[in-house]
Amino acid sequence: MYGTPLHLPGMAHAPTNEAGVLCLFAMLATKLGFTVLRMQSEFPDCEALRRVDKGRCQRLWIEFEFESRNFQLHVHDEKQCDLIVCWVHNWPECPLPVLELQPIAEKMGCGMAE
């Protein structure tokens, strides 16, 4: 199964699972102001720095999900995570900040072709 085509060098199709979200985030991290410190297989998935202003960064624990509500379905502890990165944000009452990659990819000119 392939996602919708993206106009993005290095990634032909939109994510269809968590691994695709992780891959897309890694490709866009610098443009989004992140520096990945490490990835891990256990929760949370990623430790990163996010540029907050000139000369200042904030350390974050990030969990990747295809859909934001999967965080809840996987019974993750919100106190051990600072940010959810997903393709689709479908959890309106989410207690954590969410970075939804789909609209970002569209705005960056990666737009989806139908």
**Token pair in block for residue 47:** 């430790």
Domain count, the chain: 1
Q: Which domain holds residue 65?
A: 5-44+57-74+83-110
Decide if 92 is inside a domain.
yes
Write the pLDDT tens digit of every residue in 30-61. 999 999 999 999 999 999 999 999 999 999 99
Decide if 50 is inside a domain.
no
Decide if 49 is inside a domain.
no
Residue type, 102: Q
Residue labelled with tokens 């959890």: 91
Decide if 65 is inside a domain.
yes
Q: How far is CA 58 from CA 10, 34, 36, in A?
A: 28, 9, 12
Decide if 51 is inside a domain.
no
Decide if 23 is inside a domain.
yes
Write the pLDDT tens digit of every residue in 10-37. 888 899 999 999 999 999 999 999 999 9
The pair phi, psi for residue 9, each rounded to 5°, is -60, 130
**Who wins on pLDDT, 6 or 24?**
24
**Token pair in block for residue 2:** 């392939």
